[in-house]
Amino acid sequence: MTLATNVVSYLLDNKQPDRVALLGPEGQRTYGELLDGVLRLSAALRRMGLRKGDRVLAVGENSFFWVTCYLGALHAGAVWVPLATDSSPEHLQGISRRTQPVLCFVQSRLLMRNQAAFAGLHVVTDLAAPAVPGLASQQSLDQMLSECQAIEPPQSEVVPDDLAALVFTSGSTGQPRGVMVSHANIMANTESIIASLSLTELDRMMAVLPLHYCFGASLLHTHLRAGGSIVLGPRFLYPEAVLNELQSKECTGFAGVPSHFQILLRNTTIRQRSFPRLRHVQQAGGPLAPAFIRELRTALPGTQVFIMYGQTEATARLSCLSPEFLDSKLGSIGKGLPGVELSVLDEHGEKVAPGEVGEIVATGGNVARGYWCAPEETSQWFRDGRLYTGDLATVDEDGFIFIVDRIKDFVKSGGIRVSCRQVEHELLACEDLLEAAIIGMPDDLLGEALKAFVVPRASTAGGVKERVAAFCNESLAPALRPKEIVVLSSLPKSDSGKVLKSALKAL
């Protein structure tokens, strides 16, 4: 483990100043330019009166602005509270009430759209913006940096156990809960991921995942630490543009959640393209069906595929299935990362035998400290230094872990417990489909019945409902067949690309 005491020193110390760190629509930033902006912002924040432990909100898309503000705030000892750009004003106000921030970094266009949510706060924007009434102060990042040319040493040393971020994730009741991530958590998880993927200064990552999402943030951390570079690419709304950037920027890495790979494989020209520099892809953020893993390997024959598993409560990632095991252990999440111990425990806290089902429990330096101002939920999921993930799994004779489903994502239909994940994976073997999601719906006879929401490939939309029903009758066991199939043009997703089953249930 590095001797750095905080994330910024850990990521940016001893880098070649003229080496490119960030690339984006605005051009590029070297490590020297990035460090200069970070240190000047840190000094400016302390001059404003910011103290170690003060919370700062952040609302913005991937950009030089976001990265500079993030690292500058951490260097000054602040606690970073990143939020999605599609957050409603009510959500922003709710998080603000719970965290009591002193300042907010926000893109100017989002400031104008959510003015009431930032009332009473000091606000720093990416660009100069019209004055908004009710703010404590308002200035652009360039204005702030131009007024603070001198780089001052920190007034209070930031140490590994200090809180670095509050990352909000949905709770069991739908109430967002803030995961308390320390500087030490980020450094530990970054070391583990770099070791698993063998990242070096030659790696260049295409970052379409939002940086407010723990998976996206981990891409920034790992590549800055390794001395590589990050392409702050186009949003995944335009997947062909993403492929263009992968080629033109000569990226060596790409990372995504299942929906990204499903769209790339069945609705783009990826199979007709060549990516000679693409060394590896990382998949996490939920299970990618085995059918898609096979397709991905065929579409990118010279590229290593790493299947990973993680949670916000574990800073980012917990396990990895390396490319050499994709044939023999297809469907597995692999084993714990270096420095992470994963166990599958039964209800008595004992390790399960091969083939038995238990809950995945994690220990390691990446396990967060709990939930912000939520002692009951913290005591439920964080016990005795362990993280209880809520994921049910089995272990094989070689110690490889296979997730069955989330504890709360089973449907009891006709007295049989059915895994929604299993049915989704079975459905996606139908090549007519781009995406599929399963939920339970009330049923007078069965208690609960399966309801499928499917998205067809652009070229196979006609008659897809009938073809999917025929596929289910031919290929799925009776207990796994949906009672109802609904065809949609797309599934509702979060800003990070995860399917929102709560929105499907609301339909």
Map 439-495 to HEC letters. Answer: EEEEECCCEEEEEEEEEECHHHCCCHHHHHHHHHHHHCCHHHCCCEEEECCCCCECC
**What pLDDT score does 2 carry?**
47
Same fold, 7-159 and 181-406: yes
**Superfamily of the domain at 410-506:** ANL, C-terminal domain (3.30.300.30)
Question: For residues 455 and 212, what is the distance between their CA atoms, to the nearest angstrom?
Answer: 27
pLDDT over 90 at 479, yes or no: no
**What pLDDT score does 172 carry?**
43
Domains of the chain, by residue range, sit at 7-159, 181-406, 410-506
Q: What is the mean pLDDT of the chain?
A: 92
CATH 3.40.50.980 fits 7-159, yes or no: yes
- For tokens 């922003």, the residue is 92
Question: For residues 387 and 459, what is the distance between their CA atoms, to the nearest angstrom?
Answer: 44
CATH class of 181-406: alpha beta
**Residue 390: both structure tokens together:** 């809520």
Question: Which range among 333-337, 456-460, 474-478, 499-503 shows the weakest confidence by mean pLDDT?
Answer: 456-460
Question: Which range among 141-155, 190-204, 280-294, 374-388 shows the weakest confidence by mean pLDDT?
Answer: 141-155
Band the pLDDT of 79: cuts 50, 70, 90: very high
pLDDT over 60 at 173, yes or no: no
What b/e string do you get for 79-111 counting C-beta neighbours within 10 Å, with b at 16 or more?
A: bbbbbbbebeeebbbbbbebbebbbbbbbbebb
Q: Tell me the sheet residues that pair with 281.
A: 254, 305
DSSP one-letter code for 499: B
**What pLDDT score does 157 carry?**
84
Average pLDDT over residues 170-181: 75
Higher pLDDT, 146 or 444: 146
**Residue 24: both structure tokens together:** 């984006």
